[in-house]
């Protein structure tokens, strides 16, 4: 708002300056500057015009400095508003990403909970299936199972006998 007012004031001042300049040029062109009994030359008229233009230029410079100062004083507020707007937009973007990640986390947590519920049931089914398979194997192949058990017992007795036979030989070697 201040910037608009300053701009409008500056443009109005420029218009007033141009109007004064036109009036001055028209007055000096059609009405003589020197009237009555005094004589004046071209340099006097030129000096008068230069003085009027100099004062007008100084006036416009002062108005320009005021407009620039007004623009600089409002610049801080405009920059702060712009940065706040951008920062708020960035925060909103980050918040949206966080919300999206929370939704995904909740979804994954639900899936994990479902899996944790299913795992004991699956373990129970697996153990039942193993027991069923073992019973079926034992029922269908009793001879094979018995043969395996007999073979295991023979291996144990042979290993025990071999260990006992080799033990005295080592003791003789150690004590001659």
- State if pTM tops 0.75: no
Residue predicted with more confidence, 4 or 167: 4
- Measured CA to CA, the distance from residue 21 to residue 15 in angstroms comes to 10
| pLDDT number for residue 42 | 63
| pLDDT tens digits, 118-173 | 999 999 999 999 988 888 777 766 677 677 788 888 988 888 887 877 765 555 55
| pLDDT number for residue 35 | 65
Buried b / exposed e across 98-128, counting CB within 10 Å, b at 16+? eeeeeeeeeeeeeeeeeeeeeeeeeeeeeee
| pLDDT number for residue 1 | 61
| pLDDT number for residue 91 | 96
Which H or E run includes 91? helix 42-140
- Residue from 163, 7, 136, 167 nearest 71 by CA: 7
* Range list of β-strands (E), the chain: none
Place of tokens 């009036």: 23
| pLDDT tens digits, 20-75 | 878 877 877 777 666 666 666 666 767 777 887 788 788 878 877 877 887 787 78
| pLDDT number for residue 152 | 86
Give the length of the chain.
Answer: 176
In sign, the C-alpha dihedral spanning 145, 151, 154, 156 is negative
Mean pLDDT of 71-98: 91
Q: Is the pLDDT of residue 92 over 90?
A: yes
């Amino acid at each position: 708002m201040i910037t608009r007012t300053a701009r409008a004031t500056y443009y109005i001042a420029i218009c007033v300056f141009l109007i004064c300049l036109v009036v001055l040029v028209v007055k000096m062109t059609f009405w003589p500057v020197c009237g009555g009994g005094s004589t004046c030359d071209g340099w006097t008229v030129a000096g008068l015009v230069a003085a009027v233009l100099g004062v007008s230029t100084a006036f416009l410079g002062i108005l320009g400095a005021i407009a620039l100062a007004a623009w600089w004083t409002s610049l801080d507020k405009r920059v702060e508003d712009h940065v706040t707007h951008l920062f708020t937009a960035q925060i909103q973007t980050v918040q949206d990403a966080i919300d999206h990640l929370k939704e995904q986390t909740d979804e994954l947590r639900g899936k994990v909970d479902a899996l944790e519920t299913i795992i004991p049931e699956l373990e129970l089914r697996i153990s039942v299936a193993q027991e069923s398979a073992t019973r079926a194997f034992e029922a269908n192949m009793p001879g094979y199972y018995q043969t395996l058990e007999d073979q295991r017992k023979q291996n144990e007795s042979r290993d025990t006998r071999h260990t006992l036979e080799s033990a005295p030989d080592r003791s003789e070697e150690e004590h001659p």
